[in-house]
């Protein structure tokens, strides 16, 4: 995971407006003014929004709205963009790799937080804040000191003439400001009560959000089935069917009987051709013309000859006997007439045979037309399905039935999943927890749109009380008698247990294993930063730290403020180095090195440069020396 870009508009500490690309490695962010640049607070507000407008404190110029956006690459490799109007609403977008365009994921605060934790791989807010953010207020020297019974007794020893132990007081108030400070203490005490109530409510809301996310994860177990059902339904709808192709509904039946139809056609045509063969031979014998019939011409010629002889001889001889020759014309002409009649009969017979041939042609056409009724839908199906043969038609049309069966199986699986006790329980629990979450959010809204963090109120109240006590204390110095122990001073808070416990959560390990993993590297950082004044570090089972010198074993809380800050810096860099081997997340440092010895700054820069080779390190500082060691500088 690493940040890609920060875009701001009217955000405290930044330029009035701009977009600032952030590359990987060790990167320096230079603020435009001497004001503290709250990069860590801005990142926490964008990534872990509370939905109550707490980020309105980051607005720059009063009376104007402020906006901020953070683009980052999540643990899943996807690019996300969180956009928020400070003190108002926000949205989460995800970059679509196919279209390279952002897509809206959600505008609901709870859904955004759940999605970023479940999909993008963000840790809980406390882990991100205590492991991957290092702000000035986190330094142990900036926190209120712990109150111990011995120190409290010494602080209350006014009757014996001693002065209260107030080494951690931020400032000494003038006497005339004490009443106003006491009034402010009352206001802060009321605010502390509200902050505690809000903190408890927020803890319950966060716990419910985590439980809701787990319930939603169980409910999302059917998302794969729903996706498969949608894909199967799309494939089923796209599969060819007789209705969609405009084919007869009984096309499969027609395909099954198509071979019989072909065989029946071929058999009928064969039988028709067999019946026509003799007739074709008879029809092929043409009727000879009458002019080629010698008997016709012989009878006709004989009749004409004898007719002429009877007439001519009878006139010439003037004898009636020659006229009887004309009687021979009768058989002669009869023969010719007989041949003519036979010719007519042959023509009539030939005509009858041609009519019979026409009827058989009509029969052949009827056979082909009947076969066309069976063949036309088959040819249409082959063409519509783009197949090579009609035999492939059943396989192509059966795909829809198979897809329909698959769709039915998936729907049955989804119904069984949604009817399972686990799903119903998660659904019921999710509804109940959402109702509880809405009630808690309503209570949070009733507490006010903006309530400061509990620890911040406690620190301010503690500093103010100490300042008032110091102002009221009598101006005498307590000098310890010879041989008498000095007045005890409240120890500083040991930051080790919180940091180590968060590191154990990231590494999913126990406290002792984490201590063993961190020890050697932490000692290397510590000895380098403290010029070997401390040669070792030890932690007890609760994570409380002890630094080792040549002759002593000192609890971390009793160290001088500068030394405990150096130990804290060494511990934080060790945790980042070890945890980034498991999961990479950006390490954000606000300007926390203010007041450190200039001679140590190059050493710290080299350490951060080394961390930049392991994960993204974003260091906010205006010091010119760090820019020379960094991988890049951004003027924000």
In the sheet with 545-548, reading across from the earlier edge strand, the strands are 536-539, 545-548, 553-555
DSSP of 118-177: III----HHHHHHHHEE-GGGSGGGSPPPP-HHHHHHHTTTTTTPPP--TT-S-PPPGGG
Distances, alpha carbon 198 to alpha carbons 195, 205, 294, 315, in Å? 5, 10, 138, 164
Q: Around Cβ 317, how many Cβ atoms within 10 Å?
A: 10
At how many degrees (to 10) do helices 511-529 and 601-612 cross? 140
* Cα 41 to Cα 452: distance, rounded to the nearest angstrom: 13
Write down the number of H helices and E strands in the chain: 18, 14
Apex 424 CA angle, 421 and 426, nearest 5: 105
Strand partners, 106: 92
**Mean pLDDT in order along the chain per 10 residues (636 residues):** 90 86 91 80 87 77 81 91 87 88 87 87 89 88 62 41 38 62 82 80 77 79 83 85 78 83 84 63 60 80 77 62 70 83 80 62 81 82 81 81 87 86 86 86 70 70 75 52 48 88 90 92 92 91 90 89 91 93 90 80 90 92 83 88
CA distances from 631 to 144, 175, 333, 616, 617 (A): 36, 51, 136, 10, 10
Could you tell me the two tokens for 613? 């080779």
Residue 148: partners with Cβ closer than 8 Å, 6 or more residues away: 488, 490, 491
Cα of first residue to Cα of last residue in the chain, in angstroms, is 22
For the packed helices 511-529 and 496-507, what is the interaxial angle rounded to 10 degrees?
A: 120
Cβ burial of 28 (10 Å; 0-12, 13-18, 19+) is buried
Helix extents (H) in 473-560: 496-507, 511-529
DSSP three-state, residue 95 = strand
Helix (H) or strand (E) holding 8: strand 2-9
**Rounded to whole angstroms, how far apart are CA atoms 199 and 52?**
12
Half-sphere exposure of 445 (CA within 13 A, CB side): 7
Query: What is the pLDDT, as a whole number, of residue 147?
Result: 53
User: What's the full length of the chain, in residues?
Assistant: 636
Report CA dihedral (130, 134, 135, 141) to the nearest 10 degrees: 80
Contact indicator for 162, 481 with CB cutoff of 8 Å: no
Half-sphere exposure of 410 (CA within 13 A, CB side): 19
Contact 427, 166 (CB under 8 A): no
**Residue pair 478/162 in contact by the 8 Å Cβ criterion:** yes
Tell me if 582 sits within 8 A of 506, measured CB to CB.
yes
92 pairs with which residues across the strands? 82, 106
Q: How far apart are CA 263 and CA 267, in angstroms?
A: 6
Q: Give CA 573 to chain center in angstroms.
A: 33
| Residue recorded with tokens 């996807």 | 78
CA pair distance 158, 571, nearest whole angstrom: 39
Quick one: which of 579, 459, 555, 548 has its CA closest to 135? 459
Cα dihedral 514→519→520→526 (10° resolution):
130
């Amino acid at each position: 995971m690493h940040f890609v870009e920060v875009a701001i508009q009217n955000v405290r500490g930044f330029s009035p407006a701009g977009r600032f690309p952030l590359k990987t490695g060790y990167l320096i962010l230079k603020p435009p003014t001497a004001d503290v640049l709250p990069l860590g607070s801005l990142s926490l507000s964008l990534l872990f929004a509370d939905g109550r407008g707490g980020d309105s404190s980051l607005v720059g110029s009063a009376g104007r709205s402020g906006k901020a956006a953070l683009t980052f690459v999540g643990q899943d490799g996807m690019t996300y963009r969180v956009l928020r109007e400070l003190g108002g609403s926000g949205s989460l977008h995800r970059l679509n790799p196919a279209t390279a365009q952002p897509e809206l994921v959600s505008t609901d605060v709870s859904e955004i937080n759940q999605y970023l934790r479940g999909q993008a791989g963000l840790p809980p807010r406390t882990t991100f804040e205590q492991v991957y953010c290092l702000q000035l207020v986190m330094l142990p020297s900036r926190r209120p000191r712990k109150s111990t019974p011995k120190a409290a007794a010494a602080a209350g020893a006014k009757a014996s003439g001693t002065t209260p132990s107030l080494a951690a007081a931020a400032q000494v108030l003038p006497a005339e400001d004490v009443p106003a400070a006491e009034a402010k203490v009352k206001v802060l005490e009321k605010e502390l009560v509200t902050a505690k109530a809000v903190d408890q409510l927020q803890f319950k809301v966060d716990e419910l959000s985590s439980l809701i996310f787990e319930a939603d994860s169980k409910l999302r177990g059917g998302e794969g089935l729903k996706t498969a059902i949608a894909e199967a339904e799309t494939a089923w709808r796209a599969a060819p069917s007789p209705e969609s192709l405009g084919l007869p509904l009984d096309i499969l039946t027609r395909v099954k009987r198509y071979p019989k139809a072909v065989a029946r056609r071929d058999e009928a045509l064969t039988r028709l051709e067999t019946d026509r063969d003799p007739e074709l031979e008879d029809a092929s014998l043409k009727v000879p013309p009458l002019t080629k019939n010698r008997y016709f011409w012989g009878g006709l010629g004989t009749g004409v000859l004898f007719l002429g002889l009877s007439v001519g001889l009878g006139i010439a001889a003037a004898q009636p006997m020659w006229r009887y020759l004309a009687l021979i014309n009768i058989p002669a002409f009869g023969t010719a007439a007989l041949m003519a009649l036979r010719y007519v009969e042959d023509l009539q017979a030939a005509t009858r045979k041609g009519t019979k041939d026409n009827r058989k042609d009509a029969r052949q056409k009827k056979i082909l037309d009947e076969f066309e009724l069976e063949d036309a839908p088959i040819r249409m199906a082959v063409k519509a399905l783009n197949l090579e043969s009609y035999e492939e038609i059943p396989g192509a049309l059966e795909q829809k039935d198979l897809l329909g069966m698959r769709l039915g199986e998936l729907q049955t699986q989804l119904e069984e999943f949604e009817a399972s006790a686990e799903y119903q329980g998660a659904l019921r629990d999710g509804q109940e927890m959402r109702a509880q979450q809405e009630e808690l959010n309503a209570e949070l809204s009733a507490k006010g749109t903006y309530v400061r963090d509990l620890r911040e109120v406690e620190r301010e109240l503690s500093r103010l009380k100490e300042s008032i006590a110091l102002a009221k204390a009598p101006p005498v110095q307590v000098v310890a008698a010879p041989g008498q122990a000095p007045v005890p001073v409240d120890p500083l808070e040991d930051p080790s247990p919180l940091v180590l416990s968060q590191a154990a959560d990231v590494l999913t390990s126990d406290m002792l294993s984490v201590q063993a993993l961190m020890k050697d590297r932490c000692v290397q950082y510590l000895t380098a930063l403290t010029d070997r004044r401390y040669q070792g570090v030890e932690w007890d089972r609760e994570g409380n730290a002890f630094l080792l010198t040549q002759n002593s074993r000192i609890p971390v809380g009793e160290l001088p403020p500068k030394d405990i800050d150096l130990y804290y810096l060494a511990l934080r860099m060790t945790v980042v180095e070890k945890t980034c081997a498991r999961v990479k997340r950006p390490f954000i440092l606000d300007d926390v090195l203010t007041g450190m010895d200039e001679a140590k700054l190059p050493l710290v820069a080299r350490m951060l440069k080394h961390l930049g080779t392991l994960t993204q390190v974003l260091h906010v500082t205006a010091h010119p020396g760090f820019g020379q060691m960094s991988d890049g500088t951004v003027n924000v």
